[in-house]
Structure 1
Amino acid sequence: MKLSNQPFLLESATNDHACLLLHGLGGGVYEMQLLGEYLHQQGFTVKGINYPGHDQPGMKMPTSSWRQWYEHILENYQQLSRKYANVSAVGFSTGCPLALYLAAKKPIKNLVLLSPFVTLKHEWYYLVRPEVYLFSIGYLLSDLPRLQLPILDKTMLKAAQEALFFQTFNLAAVRSALDLIDRVKPLLPQIDEPTLIIQSLKDSVVDPEGARVIYQQIGSKHKKLYWLKKSDHIISLDVEREDVYVQIKTFLHTN
């Protein structure tokens, strides 16, 4: 299996429903590749993008901000909405608060949130909290080395390691993602699009309770929280990925 970190557009001639796929922080479109191919086989148009600061390989992850990411997402959303009557947003990790912010601002057919980033689980989270950054060692650091990707499937892990662009996390970008989350939380009650949330109990990156928080606070009357039991964080590539794909397909076809 070979994964690519290059953006893609797979168009359907038989369906007026497009899905915009939004990757995670420090990751890339390779995280969404197999899901995109599956959804295209099911008749959907799918577009996978890389955000600014995530779109070129390099020794270290560059500094970028959520506003830059969102502007790029908005541009691609507008391109799709001019051609397709229905546009759904499928976010993974940091792609989830970005998808939620988009849904709060623009018409979205459906929301799919995979391993939503609400609270980090890693201990290095404390290095990006503002009070630590300003008054301690966090001030001296611009990035941290990336540990092994959170994928338990060994074949997918190898393919993902070969596809990703960076071996570091940029701490300014992490702080920007945390700022986005703080801005999105108050918006949750006004977001009423049908929403599917899929979260693994074994996630080693984000606190799984974040998925429950979104489920409880989002304003949608049509919402579902689906729990996985075997996967790590990147559920779109991990051991239960087929279950993830079927859940998304069924949700998109019935809402």
Structure 2
Amino acid sequence: MWVTSQKARGFSSRLVNLVNRPFFHRYPEGDRACLLLHGLGGGVYELQLLAEVLYEAGWTVQGILYPGHDRPRAQMPASTWHQWYEAVVTAFKPLRDTHRTVAVVGFSTGGTLALHLADEYAVDALVLLAPFLRIYRPWFLPLAPETLVQSFGQWIPWVPRRSLPIRDRALRQAAEAACFFKSFNLQAVRSALNLIAQVAQELPLITTPTLIFQSHADTIVDPQGAQIIYAQLGSPQKELHWLKDSDHLLPLDVEREQVFAKVVAFLGR
């Protein structure tokens, strides 16, 4: 069923084979399910290893691909957060109907989608991995990246994608082999920013128990976005854990084992 082993997830990361295909693995006689949501321009391969760990811990796991992310193409196509969210709800509702407990794990833009879902539906627990609230701004950039995207994204459809933000070399190679796109669609990025504006208003209303992970070394999202989410989230049960050696793609990077252990412990309460 799974293409990697526990050994491969640990020290022998060169053995990992990541696959960008939707998955649904029902744990025998289990009543706990976890929906895993990938990032913008990414895919379920980003959460594959974490899904394996959760399945081994007794969770039914499901990973989906959003519209605009569901097949390899020369360029990433345009799509909107409303389309992504519709796919999320379509997957979530059957899990909610058939399991006593349903948790949602969201990476990057998947975390923003997970927050919006928790505002509208009964989610038992949230895990946010490097949640996308602000774009990382290098010191040499004169304007906020959001301003540039909103301005030039109307006329420039794509920008080239650089190497995936993973410091673990073997996992980066495996992820780049699984990734569908070599570009980012700026219309999709603009739509993700519109989702962020919506979720920013909803944060005080969300009371779902929430676990947040963020790396200080993230080169894609502004790490302070995680602090803002933690401070403004209405949940009385919330935790923020900082990492220091990983880049953006936390579930595939050098501190992934630490992330996996804390996620399993948090969801198992």
Partner of 1:188: 203
Distance 2:207 2:100 in 1: 18
Q: Which runs of 5+ in 1 are unaligned?
A: none
The aligned residue for residue 34 of structure 2 is 19
Question: 2:54 corresponds to which letter in structure 1?
Answer: L
What residue is the counterpart of 1:78 in the other structure? 93
Structure-2 residue corresponding to 1:210 = 225
Tell me how many residue pairs correspond in the alignment.
Answer: 248
Task: Give, in whole Å, the separation in 1 of the partners of 2:214 and 2:196.
Answer: 17
Question: Which residue is equivalent to 1:56?
Answer: 71
Cα shift at 1:72:
0.4
Partner residue in 1 for 2:213: 198
Q: How far apart are 1:86 and its partner, in Å?
A: 1.3
In 2, the alpha carbon distance for the partners of 1:94 and 1:30 equals 15
Which of residues 116, 124, 128 is equivalent to 2:149?
128
Whether the 8 Å contact between 2:130 and 2:250 is mirrored in structure 1 is yes
1:230 to 226, 242, 245: 245
The alignment status of 1:174 with 2:189, answered yes or no, reads yes
Asked whether the equivalents of residues 14 and 43 of structure 1 are also in contact (C-alpha less than 8 Å), the reply is: no
- Please say if residues 45 and 178 of structure 2, whose CA atoms lie closer than 8 Å, have aligned partners that are also in contact: yes
Give yes or no for contact 1:112–1:195 (8 Å, CA) kept in 2: yes
- What is the Cα deviation at residue 79 of structure 1? 1.6
In structure 2, C-alpha distance between the alignment counterparts of 1:2 and 1:231, rounded to whole Å: 20
Are residue 244 (structure 1) and residue 265 (structure 2) matched?
A: no
1:106 counterpart residue number: 121
* 1:156 and 2:171 matched: yes
Partner of 2:13: none
SS in 2 for 1:198: strand
How far off its partner does 1:15 sit?
A: 2.7
Could you list the structure 1 runs, at least 4 aligned residues long, displaced by more than 3 angstroms after superposition.
122-126
Q: Work out the CA distance in 2 between the residues paired with 1:13 and 1:242.
A: 25
State the Cα RMSD in Å.
Answer: 1.0
Structure-2-length-normalised TM-score: 0.90
CA distance in 2, matches of 1:84, 1:103: 16
Q: Distance in 2 between matches of 1:86 and 1:181?
A: 27
Secondary structure class of the residue paired with 1:140 = coil
Alignment partners' CA distance in 2, 1:6 and 1:65 = 20
Aligned amino acid, residue 105 of structure 2 = V
1:140, CA displacement in angstroms?
2.9
Distance 2:69 2:148 in 1: 21
Q: Structure 1 vs Structure 2: percent identity of aligned residues?
A: 50
How far the C-alpha of 1:125 sits from its partner, in A, is 4.2
SS at match of 1:236: helix
Q: Secondary structure at the match of 2:268?
A: helix
Distance in 1 between residues matched to 2:18 and 2:147, nearest whole Å: 32
Map of 1:21-36 to 2, 5 A cutoff? 21-36=36-51
What CA deviation, in whole Å up to 9, does each residue of 1:40-93 have, x standing for no partner? 001101101110000010000000000000000000001211211211110000
Once structures 1 and 2 are overlaid, which stretch shifts more, 181-190 or 79-88?
79-88
CA gap of 1:179–1:139, structure 2 versus 1, over 3 A, is: closer
Cα distance between partner residues in 2 of 1:110 and 1:14: 21
Structure 1 match to 2:160: 145
Any conservation in 1 of the 2:154–2:187 contact (CA below 8 Å)? no
